[in-house]
Amino acid sequence: MDAFYASVEQRDRPELRGRPVIVGADPKGRGVVAAASYEARRYGVRSAMPIGRAARLCPHAAFIRPDMEKYGRVSAEIMAILDTFSPLVEAVSVDEAFIDLTGTDGLHGGPLQAVRRIKARIVERTRLTASAGLATNRFVAKVASELEKPDGLVVVPAGHEASFLAPLEIERIWGVGKVMAAELRSLGVTTIGQLQAYPRQALVRRFGRHGESLHELAFGRDESPVEPFAPAKSMGAENTFAVDCRDAGTLATTLREQAERVGRELRGEHLAAARITLKLRFADFRTVTRAWTGEPTQDGLEIYRRATALLDREHVTEPIRLIGLSSSSFQPEATGQLPLLDAAAVRRERLARATDALARRFGEDTIVPAALAQKRPRRRGAPGEADTV
């Protein structure tokens, strides 16, 4: 979808049409931009940008707090439209999805005609525009969908993947962020075409298995399937502090709250996580992550202990702007050895399930750990706000 949150607000509020619209945190606060309309993007405003910087770049914009419930309803309408064109639809976010149109020619007259019908139906039903990429695999289709926004449609014919990608910057490749891009540039590689010309074995020696992936993607080779019911790869929570935090007690309490939230979500999905990752962002926006892998757990206290162990190893002396934790490497619940070795863990799991039931019936703040009892209740934040999930 094109500037999804901002476009929904412009659709529902006629006075915002044609104006720069920024959806996110309070412009006087310390959160980030969740979405920016194309009018705001002309001033350099982008998603995930600090909201204060967005306000300086475009002070005359309309700043809107996110309404995630409304965006979720619109998203459900859009996904329902996709479901009528193929049973293979993989939603990757609230405003983006892959759809496999293989074998649907008899129903929709060929993939290109189907994509045009999808775009038209989205406009008809929601009065919003979408951009699409049509290609032989997920990676190339994703890249194509980004090139002619808004309301774009880019088709990459079979056999033309490498030539299509060649002039594009290396950041278009999945897995190439700022650090990887800097390393590739140090090798003289700035475009995907230059990466295509770089020896495969040299990439493998430099980057290991990731080097193999880079080489394959540079030529537009991607065999990953569209997975309609793909499980979550991680669950996490993070908080941006209103004022940079130096207090160890506040950091610990924040982590405990996040750990309880993540544990509850894991139990709700009947999963246990073997890997816990701590994320710290400092006042200068430098960000570090540290991870610990062990026995799978869905226990909030155990998640908290692992996260604080990672925090203690950092010996943090600088003020913290953001702290967060995430869980990954999922397994079905009740696997691993921890329940056999730790009777207290078994008791905590039973207690957690009882409190989960109370929380579902009476609200999340019905029962909380004593360490959090003195905290003022806070609403779960939406993307772009302090206290985000």
What amino acid positions are annotated as catalytic residues? Answer: 96
Please, where are the H alpha helices in the chain?
4-12, 38-41, 51-57, 68-83, 105-108, 111-126, 138-145, 161-165, 178-186, 192-197, 200-207, 209-218, 248-268, 300-314, 338-341, 343-362
Tell me the β-bridge partners of 327.
Answer: 235, 276
Among candidates 327, 336, 334, 270, which has minimal Cα distance to 303?
A: 327
Among candidates 207, 157, 160, which has minimal Cα distance to 184?
A: 207
Chain-centroid distance of CA 103 in Å reads 31
Among candidates 338, 332, 348, which has minimal Cα distance to 259?
A: 348
> Cα torsion at 67, 70, 73, 74 (round to 10°)?
-90
Contact between residue 189 and residue 197 where contact means Cβ atoms under 8 Å apart: no
- In angstroms, the Cα distances linking 173 to 95, 224, 230, 257, 376 are 20, 15, 22, 36, 44
User: What residues contact residue 213 under an 8 Å CB cut-off, 6+ apart?
Assistant: 175
Q: Please return the burial class of 186, using the count of CB atoms within 10 Å of its CB with bins 0-12, 13-18 and 19+.
A: exposed
